[in-house]
Amino acid sequence: MLKLKKPLLPTLKEKKRYIVYRIISERKINKDVSKDIIDKINSYLGVFEGAKAGIMNVTYNKNKQAGILKVSNKKLKETKSSISLINELNKQKVIITNIYVSGILKKAKNKLKNIE
């Protein structure tokens, strides 16, 4: 007979936050740069701190040059500061601004939808 494992209790689950960010650049970037952003954040944080932050890409909108990252709530401040340190993507000068932080994905997606 197959035994099913018990699900994790809510108190044991990792808490998360969603960061809505926007890329400002002279020319439009036609490539999905979310992986590049995560790599740069991990290089600023280091191997262990980047692993503790658990950064994951949720969505990226090429037209608006904005996206959402999923981050651990314990490393939120460090992640936000490392996002603002990024000044080059795809050999192009950029400024990345943190627009909104939410604990609920639906609110973060609404903010992303309302970005002009």
**Token couple for 19:** 């960061």
Does residue 55 or residue 32 have the better pLDDT? 55
Q: How confident is the model at residue 6 (pLDDT cuts 50, 70, 90)?
A: confident
Q: Is residue 4 part of a domain?
A: no
pLDDT score of 2 more than 90: no
Residue positions counted in the chain: 116
**pTM (2 decimals)?**
0.88
Task: State whether residue 71 is helix, strand or coil.
Answer: strand
Q: Is residue 1 part of a domain?
A: no
The amino acid at residue 105 is L
| CATH number of the domain where residue 92 is located | 3.30.70.3250
Q: Which residues make beta-bridge pairs with 94?
A: 25
Average pLDDT over residues 41-70: 93
Q: Is residue 78 part of a domain?
A: yes
* Pairing of β 16-25 and β 66-72: antiparallel
Q: Is residue 5 part of a domain?
A: no
* Residue ranges making up the domain that contains 60: 14-113
Angle (CA) 90-92-98 rounded to 5° is 90
Q: Provide the number of structural domains found in the chain.
A: 1
CA 5 to chain centre: 31
